[in-house]
């Protein structure tokens, strides 16, 4: 939390995002074809903007995954943003942030898979393949 006088701007946005993720997630049933694309793009773009109190690394990934957006969906969107070379994701700093987000998604996905005792890592051969290609 911000030191003086309340939360930092990213923290206020994070609270709003959490509420929206829950609302939209229920409304769209976390449809992986629709839901994460716009949210991931907006949150990652916000994180790249200059801020007096910048958000921590991978906060967007954390928020989305905590509220049930599937790891595979987040990973696909981050990869697409990374390779599309579209503003604001063209600079090295942005590429590093996207790559860091992909690593964090993979780490969380493997941890969840191990915790669940899944026979195949990440729940399926397709999930395991996505992980190795990342």
Q: Tell me the domain boundaries of the chain.
A: 9-133
Tens digits of per-residue pLDDT, 45-103? 888 887 777 788 888 888 788 777 788 888 988 999 999 989 999 999 999 999 999 99
22 vs 114: which has the higher pLDDT: 114
Other CB atoms within 10 A of residue 104 CB: 21
Mean predicted lDDT score pLDDT of the chain: 80
pLDDT of the residue at 31: 57
Calpha distance 59→1 (Å, rounded): 13
| Highest mean pLDDT pick, 9-18, 33-42, 125-134 | 125-134
Peptide bond just before 114 cis, omega within 30 deg: no
pLDDT beyond 50 at 1: no
pLDDT number for residue 2:
43
Task: Please tell me the distance from the alpha carbon of residue 6 to that of residue 20, in angstroms, as a whole number.
Answer: 22
- In whole angstroms, give the CA distance from residue 58 to residue 96: 11
Query: How far apart, in whole angstroms, are the C-alpha atoms of residue 23 and residue 25?
Result: 5
Q: How far apart are CA 39 and CA 74, in angstroms?
A: 10
pTM flag (> 0.85): no
For 67, counting Cβ atoms within 10 Å of its Cβ (0-12 exposed, 13-18 middle, 19+ buried), the class is middle
**Contact criterion met (CB below 8 Å) for 109 and 130:** no
Confidence of residue 130 (pLDDT cuts 50, 70, 90): confident
> Percent of the chain at pLDDT above 90?
29
Structure tokens at 130: 């996505």
């Amino acid at each position: 939390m911000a030191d003086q006088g309340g939360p930092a701007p990213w923290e206020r946005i994070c609270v709003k995002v959490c509420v929206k993720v829950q609302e939209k997630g229920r409304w769209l049933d976390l449809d992986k074809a629709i839901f994460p694309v716009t949210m991931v793009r907006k949150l990652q773009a916000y994180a790249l903007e200059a801020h007096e109190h910048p958000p921590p690394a991978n906060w967007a990934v954390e928020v989305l995954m905590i509220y049930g957006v599937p790891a595979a969906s987040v990973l696909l969107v981050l990869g697409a943003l990374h390779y599309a070379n579209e503003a604001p994701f063209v600079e090295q700093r942005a590429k590093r942030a996207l790559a860091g987000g992909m690593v964090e998604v993979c780490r969380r996905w493997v941890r969840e898979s191990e915790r669940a005792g899944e026979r195949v890592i990440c729940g399926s051969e397709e999930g395991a393949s996505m992980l190795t290609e990342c």
